[in-house]
Structure 1
Amino acid sequence: MATMGFKYSEKRGDLFSSPETDALVHCISSDCAMGKGIAVLFKNKFGGVQELKDQGKKTGEVAVLKRGSRYVYYLITKDRYFHKPTYDTLSSSLVAMKSHCIENKVQSVSMPRIGCGLDGLQWDKVSSLLKDIFSDTDLSITVYTI
């Protein structure tokens, strides 16, 4: 089987207009509060807050919802909604997501500039993390900016 290799791109546009074949990703706290920022849009669009809580994921892990043929990844990057993530917790969550993507043959993922809105991480560092973590996969990652 020929491999495609890792692809990374950034584009302007609405994350939720990405192809339905793309998995979606964003960051939340382990308390699954989702009361601000893009998390509210995810909560309103996909629901499943109790389903996420029931997975009992801790900081540095990933919770997953399946909606139709699409996976929705919730990177658990901090304990409580008012905390700030670190590059280490984001990195651990991304590694956990990578494993799930490989096991479930996910080919493309769309995400906002994760960790960089209300969470305050620096995009140049986050984008480097993404490229480092996924460089050995055949995943295609598209980052949406408004």
Structure 2
Amino acid sequence: MSRGSEEAGSCDAAQSADDSWRLTYVTGDLFSCPEDEALAHCISEDCRMGAGIAVRFRKEFDGVEELQEQNKLTGQCAVLQRNKRFIYYLVTKKRASHKPNYDSLRRSLEDMKSLCERDGVTRVSMPRIGCGLDRLKWDQVSEILERVFGRSGISITVYSLPERAETKAMNENRRR
């Protein structure tokens, strides 16, 4: 499968042979995705959402109490509905200060898949889940996405912000 070129505004899709799902990469703001697409991101059981993109989800959709009332555990998925949009909260760790593992991410994605099927959702947009502050490796996360959603009829669009030139230069020159 091909991977996106990650140029500003670019979009690249990897599609399975039976045309039942698509993994698409977009460079841009996740919150600019079409309003009829569901959103997903990772949280902890304590629903703190105090860092990274989770802060924006908390501000955009509120509902922390609603999420806490669902009592979801690591490996499960909480959900909010705002207008016609579903927002899926992948519970990948116990506390905000912990790090997830690939198994907890996979289990939460499987739970999300069953919720998507229940809710009639066929398109989900997300960031590179687990790969920001949580430090998972995208090549392994994308394989999990393919295993869970391949042949499901649920298409996934992964958004990445464009890398600023100074950030790229700092990363290239950082001591290893």
Shorter-normalised TM range = over 0.9
SS at match of 2:143: helix
The corresponding residue for 2:150 is: 135
Q: Which runs of 4+ in 1 moved over 4 A?
A: none
The corresponding residue for 1:91 is: 106
SS at match of 1:64: strand
The corresponding residue for 1:50 is: 65
Name the count of aligned residue pairs: 144
The corresponding residue for 1:101 is: 116
The corresponding residue for 2:90 is: 75
Aligned residues: CA RMSD = 1.0
Q: Per-residue displacement from partner, 1:22-41 (whole Å, max 9, x unpaired)?
A: 10000000000100000000
State the one-letter code of the partner of 1:139.
I
CA distance in 1, matches of 2:133, 2:143: 19
The corresponding residue for 1:38 is: 53
Select 2:30's aligned residue among 15, 19, 25. Answer: 15
**TM-score calculated relative to the size of structure 2:** 0.80
Q: Per-residue displacement from partner, 1:81-140 (whole Å, max 9, x unpaired)?
A: 000000000000000000011111101000000000000000000011001100021111
Q: Are 2:137 and 1:122 equivalent residues in the alignment? A: yes
Identity of aligned residues (%): 54
State the one-letter code of the partner of 2:136.
L
Segments of structure 2 that go 5 or more residues without pairing to the other structure are: 1-17, 162-176
Q: Report the Cα offset of residue 4 of structure 1.
A: 5.3
CA distance in 2, matches of 1:130, 1:124: 10
CA distance in 1, matches of 2:85, 2:146: 22
Q: Report the Cα offset of residue 16 of structure 1.
A: 0.1
The structure number with the bigger radius of gyration is: 2
SS at match of 1:88: helix
CA distance in 1, matches of 2:20, 2:129: 22
State the one-letter code of the partner of 2:159.
Y
**TM-score calculated relative to the size of structure 1:** 0.97
SS at match of 1:9: strand
Query: Which has the bigger relative contact order, CA under 8 A and spacing at least 6?
Result: 1
Segments of structure 1 that go 5 or more residues without pairing to the other structure are: none
